[in-house]
Structure 1
Amino acid sequence: MITVEALSAREGDCFWVEWDDGPVRRRMLIDGGTRAAGRQSLARRLARQPVDAREFELIVGTHMDDDHIGGLTELLSSPPEAFRTRDFWFNGHQHLLPPDLLGPTLAHRLTDLLSSAGTPWNEEFGGAAVVLPADGDDPLPTVDLGGLTLTLLSPTWDGLRKLRTDWDRRLARRAPAAESGPADLLGGPRRSPSIPWHRLASEYSPDASPVNGSSIAFLAEDAADGTRVLFAADAHAEVLTASLERLPGRPVDLCTVPHHGSPYNVSPELLQALDCRQWLVSTDGGRPVLRTEAVYRSGEGRHPSLRTMARLILASPRPTLWFNHRVASTARYADPFLAARLGFRAEYPLPGEDGIAVLVGPGTVTRAPTPD
């Protein structure tokens, strides 16, 4: 079984993962949320962890967005007592093509911290990029963490090349990464019409962001009982789909919703490739909702998208949605009438909880107690 804690990561991701390898309890950390989340939620979680159990098999910075690596820069800047990791996966600028220039602020900061501290960095890949083989006929890379096997699903070399071009362009401008999709916003409240769930589910266009396309995503499988969890980061749906279609067609017991529920990262084809009914959504809503959906939910954060949620809910019978924040954009799914009409279940953090924790087994996901 695999325990997944989705910490309160603001608009980002921070997943604390644990599993048993015989008598040994092992753990990994996937992203750190925003810098504020790193100073707060992640710092509190580490403080609760016994000093003699602060070693990680792996820490992953899935890609260079601030809401994923911000908290990791805080962690490495002021590591707690006895903290260490056996490996740290992050594709820095030097992994994209032959190195020359340095990149955007937080990604540059993270690479400096990894280098200066002598942290093992992409060691499972010989210090090179964490990336799928250039030859599509080669098998997907697998890594044994001791009781847990990771199968890499993203990124491709094409994704890293596009990131390199984007990284250098923004370095010249000193501008932040652009949000994928149209950036049209709507101001002012208005009466919301009824939501056409089935029509919204059919509306899909792919993510064009080079940053998201560089995301490290993988399938984790427990060696003891075969439990499978897909950690999707902000990866492109088309890359995930192509990788999943190369694997045996077994169910995935839990999937983190790509890109916090963005409408551009969950395609109908991905849902067909994924036999999954349990979905973990990590977001506090983020920036204001896009105009295309604001007519239905003015004043909310843009994540998770109605279009994505419609696809998740309608793609399989009786799915369960696990949220690590209860905010305006997620609380609508607590409506028992909506849940009964569309056939889903929604779970949220209990009062006083810092995010949500789940225990994942073959065909089952239940609420796990959060550490004291």
Structure 2
Amino acid sequence: MITVEALPARAGDCLWVEWDDGTRRRRMLIDGGTVGAAPALAERFARQPVGRRDFELVVCTHLDDDHIGGLLGLLTSPPEGFSTRDVWFNGHHQLLPRDLLGLPKAEKLTALLARAETPWNTATGGEAVVVPTDEAEPLPVTELPGLRLTLLSPTWDGLRALRDDWDAWKAEQRRKAGEEPAAPPDLLGPPRPAVEIPWRRLALDYSPDRAPRNGSSIAFCAEHTGDGSRVLFTGDAHAEVLVTSLRRLAPDGRHRVDLCKVAHHGSAHNTSPELLRALDCDQWLITTDGGHRVRGEEAKYRPGEGSHPSLRAMARLILGARWPTLWFNHRVPSTERYEDGFLQHRLGFRAQYPPRGTQGISLVVGPGTVTHAPPPR
């Protein structure tokens, strides 16, 4: 089995993953949330015995602040006992030409990794973590003790798009003084009564994500080599890239996964109808607190109605399988709308949340099953 803890990382991702390999407990960390969400990661380390803070892998999927921010604090002042055998991050050493990566937090992470001599992309010999362009080539596979990782994203096209668009990114950084622009508002606005929402029409309303940063996102499928349980970790990857890779894995059918972390916090532009047809999955993890931005470094995100998860993406998930389950790591208005029992019965889905008064959710994933993890002893 694989345990996935979606820490309360505000509008970002911070996934603490554990599994057994038959001899011991192993760990992997995927992203760190925003800088403001760093206390959640620190609290999780505080609950972890010092002798069990070694990681097989730390993944920074891409350079957006809501994924990279918390990792800066972790690597700047590592907690006692922390170590990792590898870090996956496509920084300026992997982009061509090599001097174009200038986003401040990405530069900071690059400097931290280099200065501390932390293992960095050792699985790829120090080169980019990337899917081969030639579809006749097999997808890259990394074997960890007890866990097999199959890379699905990014492609070289995604990394080149980030490179080629870099002048625009730098101009944006000058305008925003190092902050990212606000996420576009949900076109339908704040939550409204369920009866007003045209779910079936919304499910068909899809346009792809074209943001270069998201196109550079590392995504992979993790499979437990013992029981075969599978989790798809998507980062903020483009749906079209994921579909192409999934077709390489299952050219004649749908690729089975027991749990899928929904890409880009449930954005309308990263969960396509074609992606759902490429997957055999009915358990979906949505990581967001709504993502509403306010000014100021300490309050960069404000929980609330926000733009995530999008009604369009949720409509596709709900209507794309028989009785799917939506797992949320935050209770906010934009996620609690799915708690409505009448809506669940009418559309045929289930919604699961952290216990009231808490944030963050911990799941145990087995072959064909996903359940709440028991509370720590």
Task: Tell me which residue corresponds to 1:265.
Answer: 270
Task: Give how far 1:315 is off.
Answer: 0.3
Specify which of 322, 330, 349 is matched with residue 354 of structure 2. 349
2:39 is the alignment partner of 1:34: no
Specify which of 313, 317, 323 is matched with residue 308 of structure 1. 313
1:76-87 → structure 2 map (5 Å cutoff): 76-87=75-86
User: How many residue pairs end up in the alignment?
Assistant: 360
Please give the secondary structure, in 2, of the residue aligned with 1:245.
helix
Task: Tell me which residue corresponds to 2:297.
Answer: none
- 1:109-133 deviation per Cα after TM superposition (whole angstroms, max 9, x unaligned): 1111111111100000000100011
Task: Tell me which residue corresponds to 2:299.
Answer: none
Instruction: State the alpha-carbon separation in 2 of the partners of residues 197 and 57 from structure 1.
Output: 42
Please give the secondary structure, in 1, of the residue aligned with 2:362.
strand
Task: Give how far 1:170 is off.
Answer: 2.0
2:329 is the alignment partner of 1:327: no
Specify which of 230, 237, 240 is matched with residue 239 of structure 2. 237
Task: Give how far 1:101 is off.
Answer: 3.9
Gaps of 5+ in 1: 289-298
Contact 1:323 1:348 in 2 (8 A): yes
Please give the secondary structure, in 1, of the residue aligned with 2:364.
strand
Structure 1 residues 187 and 6: alpha-carbon distance in aligned structure 2, compared to 1, 3 A threshold: closer
TM-score under structure 1 length normalisation: 0.92
Task: Tell me which residue corresponds to 2:96.
Answer: 97
Task: Give how far 1:168 is off.
Answer: 3.7
Task: Tell me which residue corresponds to 1:4.
Answer: 4
The residue type paired with residue 362 of structure 1 is: P
2:250 is the alignment partner of 1:251: no
Instruction: State the alpha-carbon separation in 2 of the partners of residues 354 and 189 from structure 1.
Output: 20
The residue type paired with residue 129 of structure 1 is: A
Task: Give how far 1:94 is off.
Answer: 2.6
- 1:200-221 deviation per Cα after TM superposition (whole angstroms, max 9, x unaligned): 0010000010000000000000
Task: Tell me which residue corresponds to 2:217.
Answer: 215
Task: Tell me which residue corresponds to 2:24.
Answer: 24
Please give the secondary structure, in 1, of the residue aligned with 2:93.
helix
Task: Give how far 1:99 is off.
Answer: 1.2
The residue type paired with residue 82 of structure 2 is: F
Specify which of 279, 283, 287 is matched with residue 278 of structure 1. 283
Structure 1 residues 196 and 186: alpha-carbon distance in aligned structure 2, compared to 1, 3 A threshold: closer
Instruction: State the alpha-carbon separation in 2 of the partners of residues 125 and 301 from structure 1.
Output: 38
1:144-163 → structure 2 map (5 Å cutoff): 144-163=143-162
% identical aligned pairs: 66
Instruction: State the alpha-carbon separation in 2 of the partners of residues 187 and 343 from structure 1.
Output: 24
Instruction: State the alpha-carbon separation in 1 of the partners of residues 368 and 151 from structure 2.
Output: 22
Task: Tell me which residue corresponds to 1:13.
Answer: 13
Q: What is the root-mean-square deviation of aligned Cα atoms in Å?
A: 2.0
Instruction: State the alpha-carbon separation in 2 of the partners of residues 120 and 55 from structure 1.
Output: 13
1:64-143 → structure 2 map (5 Å cutoff): 64-143=63-142
Contact 1:32 1:68 in 2 (8 A): yes
Structure 1 residues 79 and 137: alpha-carbon distance in aligned structure 2, compared to 1, 3 A threshold: same
Task: Give how far 1:141 is off.
Answer: 0.1
Please give the secondary structure, in 2, of the residue aligned with 1:338.
helix
Structure 1 residues 358 and 186: alpha-carbon distance in aligned structure 2, compared to 1, 3 A threshold: closer
Please give the secondary structure, in 1, of the residue aligned with 2:139.
coil
Instruction: State the alpha-carbon separation in 2 of the partners of residues 154 and 226 from structure 1.
Output: 22
Q: Which moved more, 1:264-273 or 1:161-170?
A: 161-170
Task: Give how far 1:167 is off.
Answer: 2.8
Structure 1 residues 50 and 173: alpha-carbon distance in aligned structure 2, compared to 1, 3 A threshold: same
Please give the secondary structure, in 1, of the residue aligned with 2:275.
helix
The residue type paired with residue 29 of structure 1 is: L
Task: Give how far 1:246 is off.
Answer: 1.1
Please give the secondary structure, in 2, of the residue aligned with 1:93.
coil
- 1:32-75 deviation per Cα after TM superposition (whole angstroms, max 9, x unaligned): 0001111x100000111000000000000000000001000011
